[in-house]
Amino acid sequence: MKINRHILDNGLRLVHSRDESTQMVALNILYNVGARDEHPEHTGFAHLFEHLMFGGSVNIPDYDMPLQLAGGENNAWTNNDITNYYLTVPRQNVETGFWLESDRMLSLDFSERSLEVQRGVVMEEFKQRCLNQPYGDVGHLLRPLAYQKHPYQWPTIGKDLSHVANATLEEVKAFFFRFYAPNNAILAVTGNISFEEAVELTEKWFGSVPRREVPVRNLPQEPEQTEERRLTVERNVPLDSLFMAYHMCDHRHPDYYVFDILSDVLSNGRSSRLNQHLVQEKQLFSSIDAYISGSVDAGLFHIAGKPSAGVSLELAEAAVRDELDRLQQELVDGQELEKVKNKFESTQIFGNINYLNVATNLAWFELLGKAEDLEKEVERYRSVTAMQLREVAQSAFRKENGVVLYYKSK
């Protein structure tokens, strides 16, 4: 993959890769702001902005209509680290995409009406996902159990419904001009467009957007956990559930790949350990999963499962700990490890056939270090050894490094 880069005078970073097999172009713009950048008493703002960005910009009252007329589609998502916007458009109409994205980077059409509409949408989403859905409050219970200093202690949607409900227009404006800046963004352009044209259109439409004073991120670091933390709750849900989490390294640490492979050994596919031993053979769980949070700062290794009827949460937890003990004591078999690596490699290769996936990944890897690292992912996973898996399991899967949530059915 040939990856090109261009940096504008205002600080906007453009990364580009051409794909002539499609007649489409993707623009992915990543803003380096997420829920971790919010004030503890004003959470949910990053997610609110994901919605506000579609409410009209300073010169374009309706974002969707021009894009649809140009044959394009768009969407966005937010997490604790970033806010990501993307669109796809036929290559002959690509300038429409640059025009739309640059204008809403310049300024939104801040109005009480737009805020009221999007605030209502976000509050409804909070109610549906967290208050009215079985197990919807798990994030609000598990995160503060694991994090007591770092702002990962609240979910992207916000700590409390009142924070978005009480958001003022002045606070919203201040958040925008603090974080939505060319010098706090990465634009990835892929598909059937030359690097020269991408540079020309980026300079034409984004070049005049002023650089802004983006605050230097200085987040409180989470101290090392020294004793196990546990919580039991009762809710009106159909089944008991077990949630366990262990502290792990940040995304840039070499052990990140070791943790990712450990989660795949445990639960990626029907032949994975947790599924084979605890679901199929012992029938202690109806379903169980292990995964990593994938966050930029030090994250969590999650295990979540629903015990089978008649199986207590205590018995279910003990069975999970037995599987973790095996990882701490025995080396993962070479064939089992190779199978996990092969699966990851095929997922990577097939995922990066799609020009939009490439745009999203280029922006993400440029944020973490440099876009070219995208092509080193397979090599980094391939280099993980069975010995490393055992060492990291011994270090991480200690009781005093973990949190446990018993989520009981009334």
Which domains are delineated in the chain? 1-205 (3.30.830.10), 227-407 (3.30.830.10)
pLDDT for res 223: 96
Model pTM score: 0.95
pLDDT values of the chain reduced to their tens digit, one per residue, 410 residues: 999 999 999 999 999 999 999 999 999 999 999 999 999 999 999 999 889 998 889 899 999 999 999 999 999 999 999 999 999 999 999 999 999 999 999 999 888 988 999 999 999 999 999 999 999 999 999 999 999 999 999 999 999 999 999 999 999 999 999 999 999 999 999 999 999 999 999 999 999 999 999 999 999 999 999 999 999 999 999 999 999 999 999 999 999 999 999 999 999 888 899 999 999 999 999 999 999 999 999 999 999 999 999 999 999 999 999 999 999 999 999 999 999 999 999 999 999 999 999 999 999 999 999 999 999 999 999 999 999 999 999 999 999 999 999 999 98
Helical axes 112-126 vs 45-52, angle rounded to 10°: 120
Asked if 109 and 180 touch (Cβ cutoff 8 Å), the reply is: no
CA distance 291 to 166: 35
Token pair listed for 155: 């979910």
pLDDT of residue 55: 86
